[in-house]
Structure 1
């Protein structure tokens, strides 16, 4: 099997970067559909409008319906055809960006991505996570190419709620451990090859940046400012995690997240928050060292990431609920089967319960 690494065509990051969006998008198309939620589009609409006008890019705005579902994707593709659009600009958070990626693929037009929060590694990837209209995980849509442009204005990111930024750290936290598991099992990455050394190094760099700068970056975000620590963690959450996960692979942590979507009480928890707990479950499954567990537990506590079932919404823990999660986590085709050993629902059930007990004990002792 060949080694394959993929990435966006262009990545732009910095405070005030949105002022140049017209220049970058003009090279992709002359008429854009801007897709995003009202809050996301509202955060950039004035700057986007001025920059598009300066660079002769026409645009229409279409508000995202809330779930990256097949009906929503089909709806937006119809809007594109009705307006003769030749480039799409996805704005906002993970689900809106995933929808924009899927729409661009279906409509066969270029794609620019403008995250207004650093809550997931969705912006850079050639992957859309498809949910049902009710928000239950349905499937992964692996796309033939990454976005043509990813533009991240860190001044805008700094104005978003800190919880979203921390959620992005939770998503990024899994990157190295999942990449390491896939490398050990020679599992295929998302483009269908083996990981390159470069991708593994980026995944490890992602983890190292979180541990070194995550806490101080969170404190800065709570003040609404973009320090150099914020710049580093935004890059980890967005670029390094995105490149690391898709070019090295996913394993147990994200599968556990998908498993928890069967419990409605966890739907209020953000993607990265559930992935954070999923990372702890993966470390238990892999019987990682005490030092590794304590470093992850300490990091999560310092920035406010969940390490217990209660923190992701499971207040009443019953064997039936957790077995439902374990069964969904181990569904055929799930990424947990990229672990370098056979995984069963019984093993996942045990790891979830053990991870919760470990997290509760850690919180009580610290």
Structure 2
């Protein structure tokens, strides 16, 4: 068994006021010149939390993120950081920005990465890998990095002031960790490996925390109420879910749910949907593939409460022909990460699962 454990950032903290300690942390790590990669609206919201840094003696260069985690954007940021002899790249924004910044830092050995997420929409701030896209938003797969994230700081008040739909997408992406990994991690051959057992425990923790606190946390962000439930779900989305793949490597990272996400991005209609929303649909396909219709019934209420897509129709893809569905299914089963996990799949059974799920949801919705 080949298992490489990549647990997470070198330094992590989540608490109210954590960004007030940023100058002290920079001094501690001998960081005096930085590049800040930022979004647009999120940057406006984040700036008040970074007032001490922005008013300090640290040399700061600002650069706006282009919106997609592409190889070209990674190279641009890495080259920029090298040209000005930056000690660190600070990323302030969402998941794709996080993926781009940590990749750029990984390509520049002398440069540290410091991540300040403004969203809790996935585990991107935690993991030492980046999901890569074309400039048009088509997923190309993921690359694993040679070094982990340097410092990850979560200010709960900053995340609380983020769009609700991104948070819901994070909830969906996180509960998927259990459904995607358990088929592999529950196999008898994996019961004697300490790290795979910890990965499975983290995946179960993801499911339990989302089931117990997820809807409350969504209500909290809607009502702008900073509660312990909200913070617990934020840390589950970003940190605990990141530990699943970090501890379990290819055996626990992703299976059908994320493979569906990666391959469905070829359809332009899906670009309007967030990563976690597409993964949510992928989980439904996985449950259909495994014949777990009772579980689908249980998940349906949860999905409808959070307005998550359950079918191709929900993703505006009901027009797909049988031939297109077969091609789509064939691309899913060829997914590199799905193959790496050892999850047994076939194109015929995948096509059947997609078609059967569509019909099942249609009938269920008509009742």
The answer to whether the Cα contact below 8 Å between 2:141 and 2:262 also exists between their aligned partners in 1 is no
The answer to whether the Cα contact below 8 Å between 1:123 and 1:238 also exists between their aligned partners in 2 is yes
Q: Which residue of 2 aligns with 1:305?
A: 308
Q: Does 1:259 pair with 2:260?
A: no
1-structure distance, mates of 2:326, 2:173: 23
The answer to whether the Cα contact below 8 Å between 2:255 and 2:343 also exists between their aligned partners in 1 is no
Q: Which residue of 2 aligns with 1:88?
A: 89
SS of the residue corresponding to residue 124 of structure 1 reads: coil
1-structure distance, mates of 2:155, 2:366: 39
Count how many residue pairs are aligned between Structure 1 and Structure 2: 358
2-structure distance, mates of 1:27, 1:293: 50
Change in 2 beyond 3 A, CA 1:61/1:227: same
Q: Which residue of 2 aligns with 1:111?
A: 113
Q: Which residue of 1 aligns with 2:322?
A: 319
Question: Matches of residues 277-316 of structure 1 in structure 2 within 5 Å?
Answer: 277-288=281-292, 290=294, 292-316=295-319
Root mean square deviation of aligned Cα = 2.3
Tell me the CA shift for residue 289 of structure 1: 6.1
Give the TM-score taking structure 1 as reference length. 0.90
Greater Cα shift, 219-228 or 66-75: 219-228
2-structure distance, mates of 1:112, 1:217: 26
2-structure distance, mates of 1:157, 1:130: 24
SS of the residue corresponding to residue 16 of structure 2 reads: coil
Greater Cα shift, 112-121 or 137-146: 137-146
The one-character-per-residue Cα deviations of 1:252-310 (angstroms, maximum 9, x if unpaired) are: 110011110111111111000000010111112122362x3333222222222211212
1-structure distance, mates of 2:197, 2:204: 11
Tell me the CA shift for residue 174 of structure 1: 1.0
Change in 2 beyond 3 A, CA 1:336/1:257: farther
The one-character-per-residue Cα deviations of 1:26-45 (angstroms, maximum 9, x if unpaired) are: 43422111112122222212
2-structure distance, mates of 1:26, 1:297: 50
Q: Which residue of 2 aligns with 1:234?
A: 234
Change in 2 beyond 3 A, CA 1:332/1:205: closer
Q: Which residue of 2 aligns with 1:137?
A: 139
Unaligned segments of structure 2, at least 5 residues:
none
Unaligned segments of structure 1, at least 5 residues:
none
The answer to whether the Cα contact below 8 Å between 1:181 and 1:339 also exists between their aligned partners in 2 is no
Tell me the CA shift for residue 3 of structure 1: 5.2
